[in-house]
Structure 1
Amino acid sequence: MSNRRLFWRIVESIEASIDSGHYAIGCRLPPERALAEIYNVSRPTIREAIIALEVRGRIEVKTGSGVYVLEDATRTSSTKILNAFEVTHARALIEGEVAAIAATTINKEELKQLHATIITMKNENNIETADEEFHKVLAKSTRNGAMILSVQNLWKLRSLTPEIINDYNRVCIRDNKQTLTEHKAIYTALKSGNASKARQAMHNHFNRLINSQFEAVESKTLEEVKRKNNEKRELYSIPALKLTNSSILL
């Protein structure tokens, strides 16, 4: 979670540099190694920031050439209003079918790779990386380029805004054991070659995730209501009233 917050600060800094004209429209950003030195972070962290900037329409990555600043007009209104619920809903629809297809196309090596991510999550090592690897290996096993690209783009959308990042962090880190159980169910269905069970297992995974996101939002809203009520309680309490009267008398 701290790493995600770190790369987001880099995103905001680079965007500020673009908006101020330090990085002009059409110019090439410093190479990955230079950016890592400028911000004193690892190169993987810079890569995360570049992905987020690309999704937000601020830059374009040209293979073999570099990273270039785009005009702000390329940023669409749809990305500005996207939220974690929409991303999760889209993932459920697409990845449910990915799982169903994969049940008939996945090979032994890919099943081995999926199992390795489950072991990593069980040992609580690089949980987020293992989670992402699980879903991307699954997409790759469909042999369908459009499916693979769709899943990759949906994972990029998880880093689109600080709000989406925070919403996912609130439920994913808290529910790691449940996520592990759900990944095992998906893996078992895939291993058995049962498309219907694989689809249902994936839907169960995302249905729980969506409900957890709603619970997190409700909890956050309740905390805010309590905070405001406590402020009012202190303002209108009798001890506070007595203190005010004493000040007036003095």
Structure 2
Amino acid sequence: MSNRRLFWRIVENIEASIDSGHYSTGSRLPPERELAETFDVSRPTIREAIIALEVRGKIEVKTGSGVYVLDTGNNTNSNEIINAFEVTQARALIEGEVAAIAATTINRDELKQLNATLIAMEKGKDIEAADEEFHKIIANSTRNAAMILSVENLWRLRSLTPEIIDDYDSVCSSDNTKTLAEHKAIYTALESGNATEARHAMHGHFNRLINSLFDVVETKALEEIKRKNSEKRDLYSIPSLNS
């Protein structure tokens, strides 16, 4: 979670430099290596920041050329209003069908790769990376470039805003046992080649995630109410009035 917050601070820093004109429209950002040295972070962290900036419509990555600043002055970015519930609902609909297709196309090597992610999750090793790898292996096994790109873009949206990052972190950090069980159910359906069961298992996975997100939001709302009430209590208490 700390790594995610670190990369988000880098996103905000670069975005502020773009908005202030330090990096003007059409200009090229410094190379990945230089940015890593500037922010004193690893190059993979810079790559994550670049992906987030690209999703937000701030930059364009041109293969073999570099990263260029886009003109966003007259462009309203609809991504800014996306929330964790919308991302999860979209994932449920798309990845449910992805799983159904994968049940008929996945091969033994890909099943072995999926099983390796389950083992990693059981051992508590890079759980978040194993989770992402699990879903991307399934997408890749469809052999459908549009499906693969859709799943990759939805994973990028998970890192779109601090709110989405925090909401997902709150759920995923506490529900690894449930996530693992759901992944195993998906794996079993894929291994048996049952498209209907694969779709059903994937939908069940995301349905639980959506309900968990609601629990997180409700908890945060109650905490905010308590905080505001505490401030009012301090303001209107008799000792405060007599001081």
Structure 2 match to 1:154: 154
Distance of 1:166 and 1:227 partners within structure 2: 19
Partner of 2:210: 210
Corresponding residue number in structure 1 for 2:3? 3
Match of 2:188 in 1: 188
- What are the Cα deviations for residues 85-131 of structure 1, in whole angstroms up to 9, with x where unaligned? 00000000000000011001000000011111111111111111111
Residue identity in the other structure for 1:236: Y
Q: Which residue in the other structure is 1:22 paired with?
A: 22
Q: Give the CA deviation at 1:238.
A: 4.0
Kept in 2: contact 1:58–1:75 (CA 8 A):
no
TM-score scaled to structure 2, two decimals? 0.97
Instruction: Give the 3-state SS of the residue equivalent to 1:225 in structure 2.
Output: helix
**C-alpha offsets along residues 16-59 of structure 1, whole Å, 9 cap, x if unaligned?**
11111111111111111111111000010000000000000000
- Shift of residue 231, structure 1, vs aligned partner: 1.9
Q: Secondary structure at the match of 1:23?
A: coil
CA distance in 2, matches of 1:121, 1:196: 25
Counterpart-to-counterpart distance in 2, 1:53 and 1:75: 15
Q: Aligned-pair distance for 1:236?
A: 2.8
How far, CA to CA, are the matches of 1:91 and 1:74 in structure 2? 30
CA distance in structure 1 between the aligned counterparts of 2:75 and 2:128, rounded to whole angstroms: 28
Task: Write the deviation string for residues 121-180 of structure 1: whole angstroms up to 9, x where unpaired.
Answer: 111111111111110110000111110010001011111111111111111111111111
Q: How many residues align?
A: 243
Match of 1:138 in 2: 138
Contact 2:85 2:210 in 1 (8 A): yes
Corresponding residue for 1:99?
99
In structure 2, what is the Cα distance between the partners aligned to 1:225 and 1:70? 41
C-alpha contact (below 8 Å) 1:136/1:148 kept by paired residues? yes
Q: What TM-score comes out, normalization by structure 1 length? A: 0.94
Give unpaired runs (5+ residues) of structure 1.
none
Task: Evaluate the alpha carbon distance shift between residue 171 and residue 54 of structure 1 in structure 2; reply closer, same or farther with a 3 A threshold.
Answer: same
Percent of pairs with identical residues: 76
Indicate how the Cα distance of structure 1 residues 144 and 117 shifts in structure 2: closer, same or farther if over 3 A, else same. same
> Does the Cα contact within 8 Å between 1:111 and 1:191 map onto a contact in 2?
yes
Rounded to whole Å, the distance in 2 between the matches of 1:88 and 1:230 is: 34
- Equivalent residue letter for 2:125: N
Moved more, 228-237 or 212-221: 228-237
Q: CA RMSD in A?
A: 1.2
